[in-house]
A and B are shown apart, each in its own frame.
Chain A
Amino acid sequence: LAPWIPVVGLEIHAQISSNSKLFSGSQVQFAAPPNSLVSFFDASLPGTLPVLNRRCVEAAVMTGLALNCSINKKSLFDRKHYFYADLPAGYQITQQRVPIAVNGSLSYSLCIDSKMSQMVTKTVRIKQIQLEQDSGKSLHDDTRCQTLVDLNRAGVGLMEVVMEPDMCCGEEAAAAVRELQLILQTLGSSQAVMAEGQLRVDANVSVHHPGEPYGVRTEVKNINSIRFLAKAVDYEIQRQIEELENGGTILNETRAFDSKLGCTVPMRDKEGKQDYRFMPEPNLPPLILYDAKSLPANMNHQQVINIDWIHERLPDLPSVKREKLVEQYGILPEHSFTLLNEDGLAEFFESVVKQTQMKPKKVIGWILKDLLSYLKQHSLTVKESPVSSFLLADLLNLLEKKEISSTAAKQVLAELWKGEGKTPLEIVKRQKLELLQDQKELEQICQAVIDGQENEVIMMVLG
């Protein structure tokens, strides 16, 4: 049987973290009462006009720069038409002709084996980033044959990030999205929490034999977590392979991932073969961005965006942060990945290192094994940890000074998890876990043991 090459591309919609929407002044907020964050423009009242939100443009520029894109100094807005209850104007304002950023790349890393001991770096090309409006939400009430429409989300700014089909499996897709998520959170351009709908991923999947053209692709939607992304992609690859090997064909369709069943199903044909009748948005002039060279001298700085100014102020991206951690603390690259993967864990680690004499290379073990596994077991975030960095550092200091054994340390830690406010030293004293350092005292104890077990000793001496 000829091998199959799976091809996976991603379309990711990241909600921009901003106070107000992309083209109107209404607030952006999660889980507000329905239709409480809707301006006249969002409701598409006739005669209202879009006004571009500066913060959203800055977020897109930051993201483009972080993804090594070329920022288009002139980009355009378009209308994409279709009828749907959650799209009040009957069209979405997007950037179809000339988006704000193009031709970037994202590097991400994968573990070769399950022990996290060997990592390999891959790259996926970023085709483009475009600014566009989010739609509202519609809830179908089939019992009453009605649809409930909430426009709170309508008009919120989105960055659509298009990743080329350079990935080959669920794991790669998941790793790429995870890295993107970290980047967005580091930049602050999006909070990128999938559970709150701030990061939505659609996967484009196809398979083909080596040397042959790409196969028909399907689009997989309704993926609500990174874990499900990997599952959905892998399922779809399998499904397509099985279908083709059984002599079937793949339809160019949209499928939804059913997380309960763990499979993809054809979606209710929402759009069919739609012609979106793209047209330039006549109410928005072209978006012109400047850099240090092109910035005219007499420009009002409130009215312009300087790409170079933004570039200079970009924070350290995750990849840079990891490198710095490895270099500064001598930890393994895999460790730096885990540290950045948990919100707040890197800061916790660094805080402990500051407060203890124990070498970072040793501290990391306590962080990644003991602390992290406990948090995971109890579904806690680092912020919610009952053991603060201060307490852990305190404990590690006792261990480092050889006042307790490592077994004892683990015992103390177990006690600390209870969060009863006792210090490590108090626990050690209470449970009499102190390591005896005094040679004479040790000899006395050993002698006492030997003295108490005379027969066993004679048996041992005789062999």
Chain B
Amino acid sequence: AALKDGLRSQVSAALKEGRVTPTELCQRCLALIKSTKFLNAYITVAEETALKQAEESEERYKRGQPLGILDGIPVAVKDNFNTAGIETTCASNMLKGYISPYNATVVQKLLDHGAVLLGKTNLDEFAMGSGSTDGVFGPVRNPWSYSKQYKEKSVPKSHSEDEESNWVITGGSSGGSAAAVSSFTCFAALGSDTGGSTRNPAAHCGVVGLKPTYGLISRHGLIPLVNSMDVPGILTRCVDDAAVLLGSLAGHDPKDSTTIQDDFKPFELPNLTDVSKLSIGIPKEYHAPGLSSEILALWSKAADLFKNAGAKVVEVSLPHTRYSIVCYHVLCTAEVASNMARFDGLEYGHRSDVKDSTESMYAATRREGFNDVVRGRILSGNYFLLKQNYEKYFVKAQKVRRLIANDFEKVFRSGVDVLLTPTTLSDAAPYTEFIQEDNRTRSAQDDILTQAANMAGLPAINVPTALSERGLPVGLQFIGRSFQEKQLLTVAKWFEKQVQFPVIQLEEVKRHDYGVFQHQKSASFS
């Protein structure tokens, strides 16, 4: 089996039949992680424990008792999920060296299904950012920067300049997870999504990024950014794999009071052939200022694809879209100010040497532990939560949030099944260009197409669609109804099959993957 293979269709069968062993898969991934170290996708590689888990999985396969499709499958987890015994840093000085005593529920579920945890992936500090450039372990590099497709298209610079300065960002904040999946170092990765943090890097890295409905997957153990918007995100190389992951993660968790009580039934995605009963909505407000003409054209092409296949494609309106950025800013910073209050250096994490008084210790600890982005948001958030400002900002933003959610409800009630929008305004920017603007500006720009779904708690997915003129991935987003992941993913799968997004051609992968590399032209398999 190849590292490129789909889980359900290929790898699982290969493992069951013994054509490849969990240990082999694990070793291949670990070797590839080493040779792609320059991507800086991983903060911690848990080599020993991973190999042990692989060994245990192998025993189960030998006994003919695998735990399921995920048994023996190497996965990676964003470093803002608690992993017992493995460092959890949130890419921050505040938690450098922090070893959590417990596993996040989603991590525990992966392990209970036999998955092999390769390591923790890089991110923007405390998941604040849209580039995965603002963590203390440095920025993550988009694997496509080193792809044949990108190199062919880039204007050759002067001889002395190598690809070092030309690399592009992954997007964020789950950039490490997206890069890990994109570069084949794991089969699936967990990210988080608060304003687009899974879908954005998924689009830039050419992978599938699923944001589930709020309340479907437990947040217990996910270090929160915005409790009322955060969800664990799923990054995979094809839609079918996302469904497999979803099946193992979704469901009520008594430890998370915001998860719904209803039973969740894992599903397999049908191979949709007839889309004539489908109604696709195109929200006109998503033709946002700054949207590249390339992506606009792709979006249009996609709409036509559905239309020509017999689906009903209608233009719809989500009138309050333009307020969502400001609304998000108020609510996000307010919750950040609150959630970060626990980092005082007393119980865990970084503690400053300043000892004159408790207050001075707090102040120094927080100044030393947090980067400017985090501190900026804390200050803003506290401002909005002041008694004299609370009504004007926080309550007002909550009301606008309700309006945004109502916009979606109205459209779905009118008969639309799924919305189709771009995921990002353009393809991935070169790092040197991206850092010209500050985190806040970039976040405001880049979140614009993704964060309304977080406001409304709706499921949304990025599906890699095509390569841009620069040879970089561009994805499109589908937004579905609450808890209708099956419908959403079914449509996404159909679309994925139509577009046949190309496989990344990475030198390192070629070297490590003894699979059927030549035969695979696309990431989707039927």
Contact = CB atoms under 8 A, between A and B. Distances in A.
A309 interface: no
B341 A90 contact: yes
B408 to A, nearest CB: 20
Contact of A277 (B257, B258, B343, B386): B386
Contacts of B191: none
B120 to A, nearest CB: 13
Contacts of B219: 49
Contact of B338 (A46, A48, A51, A79): A79
Contacts of A44: 342, 347
11 contacts: A45-B82, A45-B100, A46-B95, A46-B342, A47-B222, A49-B219, A81-B341, A83-B359, A89-B342, A149-B346, A279-B385
**Interface-central residue, B223, B337, B385, by most chain A CB under 10 Å:** B385
A277 B95 contact: no
A51 B254 contact: yes
Interface string B159-175: 00000000000000000
Contacts of B264: none
A44 to B, nearest CB: 4
Contact of A275 (B255, B256, B387): B387
A440 to B, nearest CB: 86
Contact of B342 (A88, A149, A279): A88
Interface in B361-392: 362, 382, 385-387, 390
A268 B351 CA distance: 26
Interface stretch (A190-198, A280-288, A412-420): A280-288
Contact of B82 (A47, A88, A278): A47
Interface string B201-232: 00000000000000000011111101110000
Task: State the 8 A-B residue pairs at the shortest beta-carbon distance, nearest first.
Answer: A90-B341, A277-B385, A282-B227, A282-B228, A44-B342, A46-B223, A47-B221, A89-B342
Contact of B337 (A46, A49, A277): A277
B220 A49 contact: yes
A40 B257 contact: no
A172 to B, nearest CB: 33
B341 A89 contact: yes
B385 A88 contact: no
A147 to B, nearest CB: 6
A303 B343 CA distance: 34
Contacts of A285: 257-258
Interface in A88-126: 88-91
B101 interface: yes
Interface of B: 81-82, 88, 90, 95, 100-102, 104, 219-224, 226-228, 254-258, 261, 334-335, 337-338, 340-344, 346-348, 355, 358-359, 362, 382, 385-387, 390, 394
Interface string A296-325: 000000010000000000000000000000
A331 interface: no
Contacts of B228: 282
Nearest to B394: A279
Contacts of A85: 346, 358
Interface in A72-87: 79, 81, 83, 85
A133 to B, nearest CB: 13
B389 to A, nearest CB: 9
Interface string A252-287: 000000000000000000000001011100111100
Most buried by A among B256, B342, B385: B342
Interface in A19-51: 40, 43-51
Contact of B257 (A51, A89, A275): A51
A49 B382 CA distance: 22
A279 B257 contact: no
B358 A147 contact: yes
A40 B100 CA distance: 10
Given A45-B347, A46-B224, A85-B358, 15 more contacts: A44-B342, A45-B100, A45-B101, A47-B100, A47-B221, A49-B219, A49-B220, A52-B257, A81-B341, A88-B346, A89-B342, A278-B385, A278-B390, A279-B394, A303-B261
Contacts of A149: 346
A49 B223 contact: no
Contacts of B88: 46
A284 B342 contact: no
Given A90-B344, A91-B338, A283-B258, A47 B386 contact: no
A46 B385 CA distance: 22
B257 A47 contact: no
B107 to A, nearest CB: 10
A83 B362 contact: yes
A79 B390 CA distance: 13
A104 to B, nearest CB: 27
B224 A47 contact: yes
A359 B218 CA distance: 67
Contacts of B335: 279, 282
